[in-house]
């Protein structure tokens, strides 16, 4: 029996008047996700069908499609020539579950004489016949819905499993963002959430070599690789932050160290964003989590540039972030014990409520433009 995978995409973006744009993007992203596998893709009535693949690629195809944002759900379908006898035999052969079920028939092909209801009853009765007592019909409280879609084109599609998709919007439909990617738990989750809402991302990591190890850089690369499976490709920028941290450490009051560091990170992110046309910077910041994430600290970070800063995790509890990190597969890598730059030179008593005018005054001791220029000149670009 010929099989194919039915892809349903969310209805939300279909209303926006940009339907063909979103559909085209989703199709392109599906093709990217399935690169290296032989398949065909067709569309019909706000759905895509992936077919003509080798049976032993099916699991891999489903696993990859589960990571494509914009897909609502998936079903493995059996495709038959429209014929009630063949349909009955097929349902009895492939549906081997126990429990409560219903059959739902959609008959677009009016050449088929029986009504939808009669076909459903006919198939339901046939299933009960072969089930040996393990099945029961329940139209309202069912474990399985067996769907039969009788198309006008002479084909009938049969499916009963609904596999949840990743949801969200197709990557590329919400502009381009630059993710500030540390080695921690939060920022990969923030990147995932921006991708989920359709933002294409690149990542920027600040390291403090030789104070941080090569392994710390590898860890960040690994995290970016994990995010890549949701988007197809990621560009990773590495910036050396050591000289900047040293300069702040020497010339600025200790309690403003983190605040000033974060403001310079933002300025570097902005420079890169102007050059590479990023629409926003994304961080894993979270209200109240640490000293650099109080309202005052966030305000002082914001005021360093006029970039749009997206903080998808701002109001999440740590547990919610950890649960998501586990779900998306980044948690185990994030908890590996390699320090990112922020833990080097860490002051004992960072200011929790930095006053902007004091911070600005403290920054005057630095040649910020030069420091930023040097950092940008030394940038290392890795395309994953």
Which residues of this chain interact with ligand ATP, rule CB under 6 A?
180-182, 184-187, 204-206, 283-285, 289-290, 292, 340-342
SS (H, E, C) 203-240: EEEEECCCCCCHHHHHHHHHHHHHHHCCCCCCEEEEEE
360 DSSP 8-state letter:
H
Q: Which of 239, 225, 232, 329 is nearest to 275 (CA)?
A: 239
Identified binder of Mg ion from the candidate list 124, 170, 177, 184, rule CB under 5 A: 184
> Where do runs of H (alpha helix) occur along the chain?
19-33, 58-65, 84-94, 116-131, 186-196, 214-228, 242-251, 257-276, 295-302, 318-328, 331-334, 356-363, 368-377
Looking at the Cβ atoms of 170 and 184, the one nearer to Mg ion is 184
Give yes or no for residue 330 binding Mg ion (CB under 5 A).
no
Q: Per CB under 5 A, does 188 bind Mg ion? A: no
Burial environment of residue 97 by CB neighbours within 10 A (0 to 12, 13 to 18, 19 or more): middle
The string of DSSP letters for 2-20 reads: EEEEEEEE-SGGGGGS-HH
202 is an interface residue for Mg ion by CB under 5 A: no
Pick from Mg ion, ligand ATP, none: which does 230 bind, CB < 5 to 8 A by kind? none
The distance of Cα 89 from the centroid of its chain, to the nearest Å, equals: 40
Instruction: Supply the minimum distance, in Å, between the C-beta of residue 343 and Mg ion.
Output: 8
235 binds, among Mg ion, ligand ATP, none (CB under 5 to 8 A by kind): none
- Shortest Cβ distance from residue 310 to Mg ion (Å)? 17
The CA radius of gyration of the chain, in Å to the nearest whole number, is 27
Query: Between residues 103 and 204, which has the closer beta carbon with respect to ligand ATP?
Result: 204
**Closer residue to ligand ATP in complex, CB, 50/204:** 204
Distance of alpha carbon 195 from alpha carbon 186, whole angstroms: 14
**To the nearest whole angstrom, how small is the minimum distance from the Cβ of residue 108 to Mg ion?**
55
182 binds Mg ion (CB under 5 A): yes
147 binds Mg ion (CB under 5 A): no
* Residue with Cβ nearer Mg ion (185 or 247): 185
Stretch that binds Mg ion, among 70-78, 180-188, 274-282, 318-326 (CB under 5 A): 180-188
Q: Which residues bind Mg ion (CB under 5 A)?
A: 182, 184
């Amino acid at each position: 029996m010929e099989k194919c995978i039915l892809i349903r995409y969310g209805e939300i973006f279909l209303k926006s008047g940009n339907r063909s744009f979103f559909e085209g993007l989703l199709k392109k992203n599906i093709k990217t996700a399935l690169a290296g596998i032989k398949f065909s893709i067709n569309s019909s009535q706000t759905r895509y069908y992936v077919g003509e693949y080798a049976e032993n690629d099916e699991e891999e195809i489903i696993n990859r499609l589960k990571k494509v944002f914009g897909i609502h759900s998936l079903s493995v379908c059996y495709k038959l020539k429209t014929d009630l006898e063949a349909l009955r035999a097929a349902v009895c052969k492939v549906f081997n579950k126990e429990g409560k079920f219903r059959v739902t028939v959609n008959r677009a092909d009016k050449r088929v004489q029986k009504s939808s209801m009669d076909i459903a009853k006919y198939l339901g009765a046939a299933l009960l016949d072969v089930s040996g007592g393990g099945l029961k019909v329940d139209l309202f409280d069912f474990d399985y819905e067996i769907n039969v879609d009788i198309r006008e084109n002479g084909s009938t599609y049969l499916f009963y499993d609904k596999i949840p998709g990743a949801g969200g919007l197709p990557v590329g439909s919400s502009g381009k963002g630059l993710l500030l990617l540390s080695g921690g738990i939060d920022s990969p989750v923030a990147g995932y959430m921006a991708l989920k809402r359709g933002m294409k991302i690149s990542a920027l990591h600040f390291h403090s070599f030789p104070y941080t190890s090569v392994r710390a850089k590898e860890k960040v690369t690994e995290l970016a690789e994990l995010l890549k499976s949701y988007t197809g490709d990621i560009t990773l920028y590495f910036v050396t932050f050591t000289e900047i941290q040293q300069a702040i450490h020497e010339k600025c009051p200790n309690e403003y160290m983190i605040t000033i560091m974060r403001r310079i990170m933002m300025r570097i992110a902005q420079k890169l964003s102007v050059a590479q046309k990023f629409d926003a910077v994304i961080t894993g910041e979270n209200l109240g989590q640490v000293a650099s994430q109080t309202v005052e600290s966030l305000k002082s970070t914001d005021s360093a540039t006029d970039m749009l800063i997206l903080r998808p995790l701002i109001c999440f509890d740590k547990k919610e972030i950890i649960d998501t990190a586990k779900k998306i597969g980044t948690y185990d890598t994030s908890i590996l014990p390699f320090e990112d730059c922020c833990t080097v030179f860490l002051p004992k008593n960072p200011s929790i409520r930095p006053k902007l005018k004091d911070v600005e005054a403290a920054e005057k001791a630095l040649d910020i433009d030069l420091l930023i220029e040097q950092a940008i000149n030394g940038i290392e670009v890795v395309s994953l």
